[in-house]
Amino acid sequence: MHLACIMDGNGRWATRRHLPRTAGHTAGEENLAEVVRQCVRRDVDWLTVFGFSTENWVRPRREVRHILGLHEKLFGRVAELNELNVRITWIGRPFDDPSARTPRYVQRAIHKAIADTSSNTGMTLTVAFDYGSRAEIVDAARRAKALGRPVTADDLSRAMYLPDMPPVDVVVRTSGERRVSNFLLWQAAGAPIYFSDETWPDFSADDIDAALNLARAHQRS
C-alpha cells in the first residue's frame, strides 16, 4: 500500500492556538514522526509526504528557515528509522539543476539519511522537498525525448525522479482543503483522495485507518 500525504494546516493549527506559525510547523514535524510509526504498525509499504514544494520558497524568510531546520532534523532521525526498519528516499529538483534551491546543509542531511537507511527492508518513507510534479514531468519528458524515438508512458515512468516508486493507492489532504496541489500528479493518477478536516498536527491513527480503508475499497471496486 502506498499512502501519499499533503501535510496541510500547520499554520492554521498554530493560529487557532495563538502561536507563531513556526510552532505549527514544529508540531507538524513531530506528528509526521508519529505517522511514520503508525504506518509501520499497519504494514504500509510506501509513505510519501509533501515536505516543501517548489512554490513554498515565496513564504516569509523566517518561516522558510524554520522549515529548512525541521527538514534537517527529519532527515536526522536515522536512529529511529533504523529501529523501525524504514528506508528513506527523497524526490525533488536535482541538486545540480540550475533552478534547484535546496541548501547544502539540507542536501548533506538528505544524502546521509539515504545512505544510513539504505539497507532497511521495511517501509519506504519518501520526502518530497523542493518538489513540484509539473517540473518532474517536464524533466522526465526531456530525458525521455533524448532517447530519440516516440515517447511512451513507460518511458516517462522510467524517467521520473524515483522510477521505482509504485503507483499511489490513496492521497491524503488535511486541513479541509479539497485540492491535490502540484503533488505526484503522474504517480497518483486514478488514486482516491482522502480529505480530512483535521490539520496535519492533529492527523491521527484513525485518519490513517480511514485513508487505508478508502484505498482498499477502491481496489475492490
Given 10, 43, 45, 56, which residue is catalytic? 56
* CA–CA separation, 67 and 72 (whole Å): 9
Residue 188 backbone dihedrals phi, psi, to 5 degrees: -100, 10
**Is 154 an annotated catalytic residue?**
no
At residue 194, the 3 state secondary structure works out as strand
**Is 8 an annotated catalytic residue?**
yes
Cβ neighbours of residue 104 under 8 Å, at least 6 residues apart? none
Quote the DSSP letter at residue 77.
-
* CA–CA separation, 114 and 117 (whole Å): 6
Contact 111, 103 (CB under 8 A): no
* CA–CA separation, 129 and 126 (whole Å): 9
Q: Any alpha helices (H) in 76-132, and if so which ranges?
A: 78-83, 104-116
What are the b/e assignments for 118-143, b being 16+ CB within 10 Å? Answer: eebebbbbbbbbbbbbebbeebbeee
Query: Which active-site residues does the annotation give?
Result: 8, 56
